[in-house]
Amino acid sequence: MNSLRGKVAIVGAAETEVGKVPHFGATALCVDAARRAMNDAGISKDQVDGLVTCNSMAEPYMYHAEVIAEYLQIFPRYCVSANAGGGTTFSSLHHAATAIANGVCETVLITMADSLRTGLSREQAMKMQASTGHPEFEIPYGPTVPAFYALIARAHMDAYGTTPEQLAAVAVSGRKHAALNPNAQMRELISVEDVLNSRLIADPLHLLDCSLVSDGGAAVILTSAERARDFPHHPVYVLGAGEGHSHEHISQASSLTVSAAVESGHRAFKMAGLGPDDIDVAQIYDCFTPVVLIELEDLGFCRKGEAGAFVEAGETGLEGSLPMNTNGGLLSHCHPGNPGSMFALTEAVTQLQHRAGARQVKDAETALVHGQGGIMSSHATLILGRERS
């Protein structure tokens, strides 16, 4: 297989206002994110010849990317609407990078947004997200999305003695970083006790173990490494990309505690020629706190069963061995559904461009971003770097 390593770079990245954004619908947020990313890269829309979007729940379209192209009045030669839940972002960046490396197009805009907070009622948002369950063999039992993930949390606790306090430590770690991020939706510091005292949603998950419901969008501009030097900000190179797909429905998972992050991480590290110890900053998909523990283990940042202690010891703080979810993550920054991972990507780019202000990880040279979609189903890992090799 040909390696993508160092062939493609991100040259623009931006996010919209997040949280409650009632003055923009999902389509407008998607376009606003695109506009901001093009401004960041210093390019005009005529220079975009590839477009990747994901569908919205609040304003769905049959052919979403075509609608966004039409709205922007751009006429790409590569136009794709991707859909793999939280894994969508990195999976579609993987596809777009492949297209650029193969000469299909030169400059790809990846823009994704949704308005789950103000564009849908609470009941609509819950039902829409829970429809990820199997329509015959899961949904009739009334599972919520937190309930699906609670099944995994319980399994990890049973297998490794992981505690509710360790789950809570994940939320606390993210919130510390959100407090330093002016655009984050939730910035007030929380303690482990606050998490444990918050309302039980689906045992053992409390309200503060669950990610936010948000409006928001984010976008990046991707181009070939050769062209990447001509942009205003330091290019961020794609060094590794990998995916792993193990199931769609949690009742069909072959393991509840080991995920396809093992495969996606291995593939990305192998392409990059790097290992977990080489990563300076990580953005790890955190739709619910137990997910982070399983991913940290499966990506090789700690041994199986030890991620709870790892986070509890403060290793994921800005001064820890693996600064993680430095924008606050889905738990504290924002989570507008399928586009959620976009913010991990823009944050990784911001960190590697050394533009993260108070939350900057000093001298960050390499970043790992990991997304998963479904219920621990589709995993995608990217490794990014300031240097091409």
Contact positions vs other proteins (CB under 8 A):
123, 126-127, 130, 134-144, 146-147, 150-155, 158, 199-205, 250-252, 256
Complex with other proteins: residue 130 or 192, whichever CB lies closer: 130
Residue of 262, 216, 272, 266 whose CA lies nearest to 372? 262
Q: What is the three-class DSSP state of 366?
A: strand
Q: How many CB atoms lie within 10 A of CB 238?
A: 29
Structure token digits, residue 90? 């990195």
Complex with other proteins: residue 199 or 362, whichever CB lies closer: 199
Complex with other proteins: residue 37 or 307, whichever CB lies closer: 307
Distance CA 175, CA 131 (A): 29
Complex with other proteins: residue 57 or 364, whichever CB lies closer: 57
Min. distance of Cβ 146 from other proteins in angstroms? 7
Structure token digits, residue 335? 């989570």
Q: How many CB atoms lie within 10 A of CB 188?
A: 9
Distance CA 197, CA 208 (A): 9
Residue of 111, 88, 127, 96 whose CA lies nearest to 32? 111
Min. distance of Cβ 51 from other proteins in angstroms? 35
Min. distance of Cβ 290 from other proteins in angstroms? 11
Q: Which residues of the chain form beta strands (DSSP E)?
A: 8-15, 50-54, 78-82, 107-115, 200-202, 205-206, 215-224, 236-245, 281-284, 366-373, 378-385
Min. distance of Cβ 280 from other proteins in angstroms? 35
Complex with other proteins: residue 151 or 192, whichever CB lies closer: 151
Task: Give the contacts of 156 (CB within 8 A, at least 6 positions apart).
Answer: 162, 256, 257, 290, 293, 294
Complex with other proteins: residue 104 or 126, whichever CB lies closer: 126
Min. distance of Cβ 155 from other proteins in angstroms? 4
Min. distance of Cβ 252 from other proteins in angstroms? 8
Complex with other proteins: residue 302 or 375, whichever CB lies closer: 375
Complex with other proteins: residue 298 or 347, whichever CB lies closer: 298
Complex with other proteins: residue 155 or 309, whichever CB lies closer: 155
Helix (H) or strand (E) holding 311: helix 307-312
Structure token digits, residue 170? 């994940």
Q: Are 264 and 294 in contact (CB under 8 A)?
A: no
Min. distance of Cβ 150 from other proteins in angstroms? 4
Residue of 133, 157, 156 whose CA lies nearest to 144? 133
Min. distance of Cβ 129 from other proteins in angstroms? 9
Min. distance of Cβ 137 from other proteins in angstroms? 5
Distance CA 357, CA 328 (A): 14
To the nearest 10°, report the CA torsion of 37, 340, 137, 209. 180
Task: Give the contacts of 28 (CB within 8 A, at least 6 positions apart).
Answer: none
